[in-house]
Amino acid sequence: MKVLLLNPPGERVYIRDYLCSKTTKSNYLFHPIDLVVLSGTVASAHDVHVLDCMAERLSPAAARARIDALAPDAIVSLVGAVSWPEDRAFLADQHARGRRVAAIGDVLHEHSERRLAEEPWLELALHDFSNQDVLHWLVHDQSELEESTVRRADGRIERVHRGARKGTFRVPLPRHELFPRSGYHFSFARREPFATILTDYGCPYPCTFCVIGTLGFKTRPVEDALAEIDHVRALGVREIFFMDQTFGVVKSRALELCRGLEERGDLSWTAFTRPDTADDELLDAMHRAGCHTLILGVESADDARLAAYRKGYNVGAVRDGFLRAHRHGLRTVGTFIVGLPEEDADSLRRTLDLALELDVDFLSLNMAVPRFGTAFRRQAVEMGLCDEDDLVMDQGGADAFLPTKHLERAQMLALKKEMVRRFYLRPRYLMRRLRSAGNAGELARQAREGLALLRRNL
Ligand code: SF4
């Protein structure tokens, strides 16, 4: 069967993956990890193709022409809350052209039976891209589905919910070579091209605003991850973005992976982790294995708020984590969530003060959005900050996000933009960025990303 893995076209550059969606905050766009993983799974039994309309910046008309020329039997598409009206129109048209359509995305993560009832073009909503459900669907073997919502042959819609939420999982080797060679940009990459790789799935922590914590937590065997890394090395890739949401959460496994990377000796990479997870032993191993940048969740400068949203650490642990990372020679990205219901101008000022005190190399501000399936969404609905039926939202902050109890949306957005400018336009900071670029290519990439970020925050 000819199967197309699709990142559909859109009016803006959208990042839709891992049951989240947003507009890009600067210029970055990495490989959609759902499609990367599914490429191996589908290729194990079918003729698989990839069309990433975001990376190729394809218009809907151009995308339609490419799909018509390919004439796939089935399409497995990303969809997102950030782009839902566009996605549903595009995919309904593909269905009308005779193609079976399955989709995965945040907007299908909650009330999925209702979504399928409203969208007759949609046959299957995948809720987990690490299992074999897509293969069962392609051959109409619905009895084997684990974690999907399916439209049965008799028209009944059923949410199947029996997938393992912990343990290990294996996927056939992802087919990185099917993705475009250019069109992806990653702000923290020290060289291009880069590959986006996942060695675990979900997250064991319960942060109430985060969808990843609702997925359970499963790991891939380290040997599988290293085989995938050797595959991208054979394609000439030496830079990796690990999409694992908390690198090192199983420390023995992370140390084994780092040993494998260090033995290869030719890789540089970026990973997410938590300030309280990466101890000295792990940071040392990561640095020796080629890690240059750590993306660390801070979220808030306020201990009470960290506790209320169940982060499981306090600001003291955050300070210690950043000190450790810098001591091991790693660049840090501090990610903060802004616009939570309690937010006011004072708390935003404290957030910026903490980012400056931590001496983060990059500041990442994410708008609080009521992600589907999270406790925070339920809370926001109860507080009247959003409606149960609100489907369009954007953590990138281009458009749709929540007002707070104290700030209108326009005020919130203006204050967030001011924070970005105050952080990035410090002369000493700009000098540091200039001096730290390892080569002309990295300098050009950083300049491009920086300008795109500032344009969005004027
Ligand atoms: S630790 Fe990070 S990925 Fe895990 S639930 Fe919390 S915010 Fe989400």
Calpha distance 372→312 (Å, rounded): 22
pLDDT at residue 400 tops 60: no
Find out whether the beta carbon of 216 lies less than 6 Å from any atom of ligand 1.
no
SS3 state at 68 = helix
Mean pLDDT, the chain, whole residue set = 93
What residues contact residue 84 under an 8 Å CB cut-off, 6+ apart?
A: 107, 391, 392
Q: What angle do CA 80, 38, 92 make, to 5 degrees?
A: 45
Backbone φ and ψ of 426, nearest 5°? -75, 130
Which of 279, 391, 257, 390 is CA-nearest to residue 328?
Answer: 279
Which of 210, 242, 276, 336 maximizes ligand 1 atoms within 8 Å of its Cβ, making it the mutation to test the pocket? Answer: 210
Find out whether the beta carbon of 366 lies less than 6 Å from any atom of ligand 1.
no
Atom 8 in ligand 1: which residue has the minimum CA distance?
210
Angstrom distances, CA of residue 7 to CA of 53, 182, 360, 413, 427: 6, 15, 32, 28, 39
Q: What pLDDT was estimated at residue 24?
A: 81
73 close to 57: Cβ distance less than 8 angstroms = no
Calpha distance 407→416 (Å, rounded): 11
How is 152-219 classified by DSSP, letter by letter? -TTS-EEEEE----EEE---PPP-GGGS-SSS-B-TT-SSSSEEEE-SEEE-S---TT-SGGGS-EEE
Find out whether the beta carbon of 212 lies less than 6 Å from any atom of ligand 1.
yes
pLDDT tens-digit readout, 216-231: 999 999 999 999 999 9
Q: For 397, left (φ over 0), alpha (ψ -120 to 50), or beta?
A: left
What secondary structure letter does DSSP report for 449? H
Find out whether the beta carbon of 337 lies less than 6 Å from any atom of ligand 1.
no
Which of 106, 243, 245 maximizes ligand 1 atoms within 8 Å of its Cβ, making it the mutation to test the pocket? Answer: 245
pTM for this prediction: 0.94
ω into 193 cis (within 30 of 0): yes
The Cβ-side half-sphere exposure at 33, using a 13 Å CA radius, reads 22
What would the mean pLDDT of 230-237 be, rounded to a whole number? Answer: 98
Confidence band (pLDDT; 50, 70, 90) for 164?
Answer: confident
The alpha carbon of 212 and the centre of ligand 1 are apart by a number of angstroms equal to: 6
Question: Percent of the chain beyond pLDDT 90?
Answer: 78
Which of 17, 205, 208 maximizes ligand 1 atoms within 8 Å of its Cβ, making it the mutation to test the pocket? Answer: 205
Q: What pLDDT was estimated at residue 289?
A: 98
Find out whether the beta carbon of 77 lies less than 6 Å from any atom of ligand 1.
no
Q: What pLDDT was estimated at residue 276?
A: 95
Ligand 1: nearest atom to the Cα of 203? 4
Q: What pLDDT was estimated at residue 355?
A: 97
Atom 6 in ligand 1: which residue has the minimum CA distance?
207
pLDDT at residue 401 tops 80: no
191 close to 445: Cβ distance less than 8 angstroms = no
The alpha carbon of 311 and the centre of ligand 1 are apart by a number of angstroms equal to: 8
Calpha distance 378→397 (Å, rounded): 20
Q: Tell me how long the chain is.
A: 458
The alpha carbon of 206 and the centre of ligand 1 are apart by a number of angstroms equal to: 7
Confidence band (pLDDT; 50, 70, 90) for 393?
Answer: low
Find out whether the beta carbon of 205 lies less than 6 Å from any atom of ligand 1.
yes
Find out whether the beta carbon of 371 lies less than 6 Å from any atom of ligand 1.
no
> Quick one: which H or E segment has residue 365?
strand 362-367
Q: What pLDDT was estimated at residue 398?
A: 58
Find out whether the beta carbon of 391 lies less than 6 Å from any atom of ligand 1.
no
Neighbours of 379 (CB within 10 A): 18
What would the mean pLDDT of 204-222 be, rounded to a whole number? Answer: 95
Find out whether the beta carbon of 196 lies less than 6 Å from any atom of ligand 1.
no
Q: What pLDDT was estimated at residue 444?
A: 84
Cα dihedral: 139, 157, 60, 446 (round 10): -90
Atom 5 in ligand 1: which residue has the minimum CA distance?
213
What residues contact residue 195 under an 8 Å CB cut-off, 6+ apart?
A: 31, 176, 232, 235, 237, 239, 240, 241
pLDDT tens-digit readout, 354-391: 999 999 999 999 888 888 889 988 888 888 888 877 77
